C-alpha cells in the first residue's frame, strides 16, 4: 500500500472519517490504530521491531526521567549540607548514571539498525559470512526520531511520556513512517494528542498538497526512473553522453520523487490538523553546498546537527584542539578547523545513512569535504571577489553560484546511481571523456534513454509547471502557493485542483502494465 495507491487514499479517508467522529479527547487513539494498522498492512512480519523500539524508548525514558527527578530532589534537600567537593561528586555521579541509562537505550536501538542495515556491508568487505537480513519499513526514521526523544529527556528538556500508547503513536505516526520527516517530540507530540476540530481550510490545504505530490511523483518521477534504472547499472554499454543524461535525469527524478512524497506526507497530516516539519525547500536554488543541505532533507540535517554535530564540535577533545591551535598562533584555524572536521564526520554519517555500501561513504566525504574546504578558504574567496569587484547580488554571479552548486551535487549523485564506488568513478570519467553534444540531436537519442519524445514532452511541460511554482515560492517566502490559491476564492481553488487532478489521471504513470518505483527514501 504505497502513498500513491488508491488503497492508501481509501485508508486515509476511512481514518479521517473515524477521527472526526470520535470525541476530541480520544482522537489520538484513532491515529494510533490507523498507524499500527498501516504498518501491519505494509510490513506485518517486521512489526515487532517498531514495538521493540517504542517499548525500549518508553521504559528507558521513564527510568531516565525518574532518576533525574529523584536526584534533583535529593540534591535540593542535601545541597546546604554539602561541601563543594561533595556537590561536584554528586553531580558527576548523577551525570555518569544518566549517561549509562541513555547509552543503553541508544546502543540497543542504533545497534539493531546498524546490524540489520550494515552487517552484510562489513561482512563482504572483511570476508565474513553474509546473512539473509531484512530492513523493517521506516526503521531509520522511527529510530532517529525515538532516540532524539531519549536524548532530550537526558538533557532535561522535558519529562518522559507516561502513557505507552501515546509514545507509540509518536514513534509510528503513519503519514511520516515511510520517508519522514524526522520530527522532534516537542513539536509533534502535542499536535498528535490534543485532538483537532474539523477545518475545511485544513482539508483544502491538505488535498491540494497531496494532489501536487501525486503530480510530481506520478507525472514526473515515475516517468523518468526507467532511464536511470536502465543506463546506470549497465553503463559500460552506453556512451558518456547517455551516462551524463541519466545522471541529469536522476537529479530531476529524485527531486520530484522526494519532494512529491514529502508533500503527500505533509498533506495527509494536514487533513488531521497536524503540521509536520518542512523537509524540502527548493534545494536546486542553493548558492552553496551548505545551503543545499539546509534545504534538502531538512529534518535529517536538523537532527544530525542537534544530536551529532554540536556534541562533536563542543566536545572536550575538539575544544582542546581549538585551544591548542590558538595557543600556537593560528586563530583562524582554531576557529574553523575543529568545526570543519566535525562537519566532515557528520557528512560521512549522512552518506552511510543513505545506504549500506561504501560508495555512500564516498558520497558523504565528497559533500563534507567540499564544505570543509570552502569554509577553510572562505576568506581567500571573499578577497578574490573583492579584487574582481563581484557583488553578491549580481544576477550573473548568483546564476554562477547555483550552477556551480548543482554541478557539485550532480557529482555526488553518481555515487547514488552507480552500483559501487568504482563504477561511479568510471561513469564520471566517461561522462567527460566520451561526451558528444552532437549525439543529443540524433533521432534515436530519446529511444536510447528509454523515454519517447511524447514522454519527454509531458515531462518538459510538468517540469515547467514545477519550476514556476518553485520560483513563486522563492519570491513569496512567507506565503505558500496553496495559501495564495485558497485566498483567491473557491472558483480558483477548484480550477487548480481539477487541472492537477486530471493531469495526474491522464498523464500519471500507474495502473496495469506499469511498474512505478517505490519512493526513494522508502528503503531507509
Q: Tell me: do 26 and 86 sit in the same domain.
A: yes
**Cα separation of 223 and 196, whole Å?**
38
Contact present, 399 and 286 (Cβ < 8 Å): no
Does residue 220 fall inside a structural domain?
A: yes
Q: Tell me: do 182 and 258 sit in the same domain.
A: no
Q: Tell me: do 142 and 267 sit in the same domain.
A: no
Closest to 208 measured CA to CA, from 280, 268, 145: 268
Does residue 150 fall inside a structural domain?
A: yes
Residue in the structure block whose three cell numbers are 514532452: 457
Q: What is the DSSP letter of 296?
A: B
Cell of 461: 511541460
Closest to 404 measured CA to CA, from 296, 301, 291: 291
**Cα separation of 345 and 349, whole Å?**
6
Residue 426, SS3 per DSSP: helix
Q: Tell me: do 246 and 103 sit in the same domain.
A: no
Cell of 22: 470520535
Cell of 12: 486515509
Q: Tell me: do 126 and 203 sit in the same domain.
A: no
Among 198, 232, 248, identify where a domain stops.
Answer: 198
Sign of CA dihedral 149, 155, 157, 160: positive
Among 170, 198, 226, identify where a domain stops.
Answer: 198
The residues, ordered by sequence, that sit 6+ positions from 130 with a Cβ below 8 Å of its Cβ are 120, 123, 124
**Cα separation of 181 and 184, whole Å?**
10
Sign of CA dihedral 38, 40, 42, 47: positive
User: 461: domain range?
Assistant: 199-280+418-524
Cell of 441: 540531436
Does residue 141 fall inside a structural domain?
A: yes
Q: Tell me: do 251 and 146 sit in the same domain.
A: no
Q: Tell me: do 209 and 193 sit in the same domain.
A: no
Among 167, 198, 229, identify where a domain stops.
Answer: 198
Contact present, 383 and 332 (Cβ < 8 Å): no
Contact present, 435 and 241 (Cβ < 8 Å): yes
**What's residue 155's pLDDT?**
93
Does residue 302 fall inside a structural domain?
A: no
Segment 16-57, tens digit of pLDDT = 999 999 999 999 999 999 999 999 999 898 999 999 999 999
Q: Tell me: do 204 and 191 sit in the same domain.
A: no
Q: What is the DSSP letter of 115?
A: H
Does residue 390 fall inside a structural domain?
A: no
Half-sphere exposure for 421 (CA within 13 Å, toward CB): 13
Closest to 452 measured CA to CA, from 368, 509, 520, 382: 509
**What's residue 345's pLDDT?**
92
Residue 280, SS3 per DSSP: strand
Segment 400-423, tens digit of pLDDT = 999 999 999 999 999 999 999 999
Closest to 374 measured CA to CA, from 347, 414, 356: 347
Give the N- to C-terminal CA distance of the chain in Å, as an integer: 17
Ranges of the chain whose pLDDT falls below 50: none
**Cα separation of 222 and 215, whole Å?**
10
**What's residue 514's pLDDT?**
54
Q: What is each CA distance from 495 to 483, 498, 508, in whole angstroms? A: 15, 5, 19
Q: What is the DSSP letter of 22?
A: S
Domains of the chain: total: 2
Residue 314, SS3 per DSSP: coil
Q: Tell me: do 141 and 236 sit in the same domain.
A: no
Q: Which residues of 484-514 are buried (b: 16+ CB within 10 A; e: fewer)?
A: ebbeeeeeebeebbeebeebbeebbbbeeee
Q: Tell me: do 210 and 253 sit in the same domain.
A: yes
Does residue 273 fall inside a structural domain?
A: yes
Does residue 518 fall inside a structural domain?
A: yes
**What's residue 197's pLDDT?**
92
Residue 416, SS3 per DSSP: helix
Does residue 484 fall inside a structural domain?
A: yes
Q: Tell me: do 141 and 253 sit in the same domain.
A: no
Q: Tell me: do 79 and 152 sit in the same domain.
A: yes
Which uninterrupted H or E stretch holds 60? helix 47-78
Closest to 193 measured CA to CA, from 175, 173, 176: 173
**Cα separation of 188 and 274, whole Å?**
8
Amino acid at each position: 500500500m504505497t502513498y500513491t495507491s488508491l488503497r492508501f487514499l481509501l485508508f486515509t479517508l476511512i481514518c479521517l472519517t473515524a477521527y472526526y467522529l470520535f470525541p476530541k479527547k480520544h482522537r489520538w487513539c484513532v491515529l494510533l490504530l490507523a498507524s499500527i494498522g498501516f504498518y501491519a498492512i505494509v510490513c506485518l512480519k517486521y512489526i515487532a521491531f517498531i514495538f521493540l523500539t517504542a517499548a525500549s524508548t518508553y521504559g528507558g525514558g521513564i527510568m531516565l526521567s525518574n532518576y533525574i527527578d529523584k536526584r534533583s530532589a535529593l540534591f535540593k534537600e542535601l545541597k546546604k549540607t554539602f561541601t563543594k567537593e561533595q556537590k561536584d561528586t554528586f553531580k558527576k555521579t548523577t551525570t555518569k548514571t544518566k549517561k549509562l541509562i541513555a547509552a543503553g537505550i541508544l546502543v540497543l536501538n542504533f545497534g539493531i539498525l546498524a546490524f540489520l542495515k550494515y552487517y552484510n556491508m562489513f561482512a563482504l568487505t572483511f570476508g565474513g559470512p553474509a546473512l539473509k537480513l531484512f530492513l523493517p519499513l521506516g526503521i531509520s526514521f522511527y529510530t532517529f526520531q525515538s532516540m532524539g526523544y531519549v536524548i532530550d529527556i537526558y538533557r532535561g528538556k522535558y519529562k518522559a511520556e507516561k502513557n505507552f500508547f501515546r509514545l507509540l503513536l509518536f514513534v509510528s505516526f503513519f503519514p511520516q513512517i515511510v520517508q519522514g520527516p524526522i520530527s522532534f517530540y516537542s513539536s509533534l507530540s502535542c499536535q498528535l494528542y490534543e485532538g483537532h476540530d474539523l477545518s475545511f481550510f485544513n482539508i483544502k490545504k491538505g488535498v491540494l498538497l497531496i494532489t501536487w505530490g501525486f503530480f510530481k511523483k506520478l507525472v514526473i518521477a515515475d516517468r523518468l526512473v526507467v532511464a536511470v534504472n536502465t543506463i546506470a547499472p549497465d553503463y559500460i554499454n552506453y556512451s558518456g553522453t547517455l551516462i551524463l543524461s541519466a545522471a541529469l535525469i536522476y537529479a530531476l527524478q529524485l527531486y520530484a520523487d522526494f519532494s512529491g512524497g514529502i508533500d503527500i506526507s505533509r498533506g495527509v497530516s494536514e487533513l488531521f490538523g497536524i503540521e509536520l516539519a518542512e523537509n524540502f525547500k527548493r534545494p536546486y536554488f542553493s548558492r552553496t553546498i551548505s545551503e543545499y543541505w539546509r534545504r534538502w532533507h531538512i529534518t535529517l540535517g536538523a537532527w544530525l546537527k542537534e544530536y551529532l554535530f554540536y556534541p562533536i564540535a563542543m566536545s572536550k577533545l575538539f575544544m582542546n584542539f581549538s585551544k591548542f591551535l590558538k595557543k600556537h598562533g593560528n586563530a583562524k584555524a582554531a576557529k574553523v578547523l575543529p568545526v570543519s572536521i566535525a562537519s566532515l564526520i557528520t557528512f560521512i554519517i549522512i552518506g552511510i545513512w543513505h545506504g549500506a555500501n561504501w560508495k555512500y561513504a564516498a558520497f558523504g566525504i565528497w559533500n563534507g569535504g567540499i564544505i570543509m574546504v570552502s569554509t577553510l578558504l572562505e576568506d581567500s574567496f571573499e578577497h578574490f571577489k573583492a579584487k574582481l569587484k563581484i557583488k553578491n547580488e549580481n544576477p550573473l554571479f548568483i546564476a554562477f553560484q547555483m550552477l556551480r552548486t548543482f554541478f557539485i551535487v550532480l557529482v555526488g549523485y553518481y555515487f547514488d546511481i552507480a552500483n559501487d564506488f568504482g563504477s561511479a568513478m568510471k561513469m564520471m570519467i566517461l561522462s567527460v571523456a566520451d561526451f558528444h553534444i552532437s549525439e543529443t540531436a540524433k533521432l534515436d537519442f530519446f529511444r536510447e534513454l528509454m523515454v519517447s519524445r511524447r514522454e519527454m514532452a509531458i515531462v518538459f511541460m510538468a517540469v515547467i509547471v514545477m519550476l514556476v511554482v518553485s520560483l513563486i515560492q522563492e519570491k513569496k517566502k512567507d506565503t505558500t502557493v496553496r495559501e495564495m490559491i485558497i485566498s483567491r476564492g473557491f472558483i480558483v481553488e477548484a480550477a487548480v485542483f481539477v487541472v492537477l487532478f486530471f493531469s495526474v489521471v491522464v498523464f500519471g504513470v500507474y495502473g496495469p502494465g506499469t511498474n512505478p518505483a517505490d519512493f526513494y527514501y522508502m528503503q531507509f
